[in-house]
Copies of this chain bind each other. A is one copy, B any other.
Amino acid sequence: MSSEEVKTEKLIKEQAKILFFKNGYLKATTQEIADKAGVNRALIHYYFRSREQLLDTLLDEALLEKKERVKRILSSDLSLKEKIAAFINSTMDYGIAFPYLENFIISEIARCPKKITDFCSVHSVKPSDLIKDQLEEEIRQKNLDPISAEQFMVNLIALCNYPLLAKPILQTIHNMTDEAYGQFLVERKQIIFSTIFKERMPETIPTKNE
């Protein structure tokens, strides 16, 4: 395996990722992918055999990257709140960089549910397991209301990911530019954190003149 071989294969994947994950152009054809990568269409088949296998590869790598990123954060030695803060930061930043990645994942799996069962049969990944103990401890100490780790995690992921999935809709409804929407997403980081932990602003001390 020469260096060009690896380089070109990687180049094709990278440009495909830009089309799919960044531009949200999910129906890009092999021809369009090849053009974007500046190579011949035949090369795509040379390296990936078929469009479907290229998609498989992209999905697999995306899921793996995500899994390891989450795992790295949630199985660190941080406190629960620190973990969640790190998770939100990482997820939102990644989501801002690749606004259509979640869309790609969900679309691909909706099209072929087998792809997620296959992935899960190889990589067991239940993020909620990684925070279960800490979460239950917080609940025991009444810092948090009783909630299953699964529901807690779904809350967290939903609050982070939905605005990415619905970007075209929300942006249009709220009449936002790309910049404004990016800002909206950044502002969400703190909102998600305090929503998840049901943190209330400290009571203001009532003054005399009121």
| Interface residues, chain A, with chain B CB atoms under 8 Å away | 24, 26-27, 100, 103, 105-107, 109-111, 113, 116-117, 120, 125-126, 142, 145-147, 150-151, 154-155, 157-159, 161-163, 165-166, 168-170, 172-174, 184, 187-188, 191-192, 194-196, 198-201, 203-204
Q: Are B103 and A168 in contact (CB under 8 A)?
A: no
In the complex, what's the smallest C-beta–C-beta distance from A66 to chain B, in angstroms? Answer: 11
Contact status of A163 and B158, CB under 8 A, knowing A106-B103, A116-B169, A203-B142: yes
Copies of this subunit: 2
In the complex, what's the smallest C-beta–C-beta distance from A131 to chain B, in angstroms? Answer: 14
Q: Are B26 and A155 in contact (CB under 8 A)?
A: no
User: From A176, which residue of chain B is reached at the shortest CB distance?
Assistant: B150
Q: Are B116 and A191 in contact (CB under 8 A)?
A: no
In the complex, what's the smallest C-beta–C-beta distance from A155 to chain B, in angstroms? Answer: 6
Q: Are A198 and B195 in contact (CB under 8 A)?
A: yes
Query: Which residues of B have CB within 8 Å of A173?
Result: 116, 120, 125-126
Q: Are B111 and A27 in contact (CB under 8 A)?
A: yes
Lowest 3 A-B CB distances belong to which pairs?
Answer: A158-B162, A198-B198, A162-B162
Q: Are B107 and A107 in contact (CB under 8 A)?
A: yes
A166 to B66, CA, bound (A): 15
Query: Which residues of B have CB within 8 Å of A192?
Result: 155
Q: Are B194 and A145 in contact (CB under 8 A)?
A: yes
User: From A104, which residue of chain B is reached at the shortest CB distance?
Assistant: B110
Q: List 22 A-B contacts (CB under 8 A).
A: A26-B111, A27-B111, A100-B110, A107-B107, A116-B168, A116-B172, A120-B172, A125-B173, A126-B173, A142-B203, A145-B199, A147-B191, A150-B184, A154-B170, A154-B188, A158-B159, A159-B159, A165-B165, A195-B195, A195-B196, A195-B198, A198-B199
Query: Which residues of B have CB within 8 Å of A196?
Result: 195
Q: Are B151 and A155 in contact (CB under 8 A)?
A: no
